[in-house]
Structure 1
Amino acid sequence: MEALKSASAPAARSVVTELGEADALDEGLTPGGEFVSEELIVQVIPQGKDEFTCSSCFLVRHRSQLARESSGHSYCIECEG
């Protein structure tokens, strides 16, 4: 019990500060408080004929990674592993 009491735990204020900074990042702010107004341009490539979307992990996989198909759902070898 004494070992637990003497263990170094972070100060409550530092934890609150870290949580506040994490919330700021979620709202589009950088740790310094500046707003980030960047747009990401992403090219979306349609799923190929030799690909499938795993119904468990929702990743697009090559047909060679198909482990099972049932009731219209496909599952990859990693999820069935």
Structure 2
Amino acid sequence: MSKAMASDYDEVRPDVKESQESSLEALRTENIPDARSVVRELEEADTVDGVNLPGDYIAEELIVEVVPQKEDEFLCSSCFLVQHRSQLAQEKDAHAYCIECEG
């Protein structure tokens, strides 16, 4: 009976280790920008001076007419939409829920 040598399963295999080292060396030799230059580029990109946004800018005020809730309507406590009473599914603890939210 021959004795087998104990294997260290946590040790990296030689072929994998060589591949990792060559990959690491390739990353080191690449022309990778440093963190300061990346931050500088991002800050320059954030400035809006001289940037023309697509489309026309219209300086008009939006006017919306607010209609108060009617007696035959309720506010759903889940989706927060004003619904007609025919859409009421459940009222619980002074909260009303519509069919869509309870369905």
Q: Give the TM-score normalised by structure 1.
A: 0.58
Q: 1:12 maps to which residue?
A: none
Q: Structure 1 residue 75 and structure 2 residue 97: aligned?
A: yes
| Aligned residue runs from structure 1 range 2-81, under 5 A | 31-32=54-55, 34-81=56-103
Matched-pair contact (CA < 8 Å) for 1:50–1:62: yes
Matched-pair contact (CA < 8 Å) for 1:67–1:76: yes
Deviation (angstroms), 1:36: 2.9
C-alpha change, 1:30 and 1:75, in structure 2 (3 Å) is: farther
Identity within the alignment, %: 67
Alignment size in residue pairs = 54
Deviation (angstroms), 1:49: 0.1
Q: Which has the higher contact order (CA 8 A, sep 6+)?
A: 1
Amino acid across the alignment from 1:72: A
Deviation (angstroms), 1:35: 3.3
Deviation (angstroms), 1:78: 0.3
SS class of match (2:101): helix
Q: Give the TM-score normalised by structure 2.
A: 0.46
1:13-67 Cα distance to aligned partner (Å, 9 max, x none): xxxxxxxxxxxxxxxx8524x5331111111110000000000000000000000
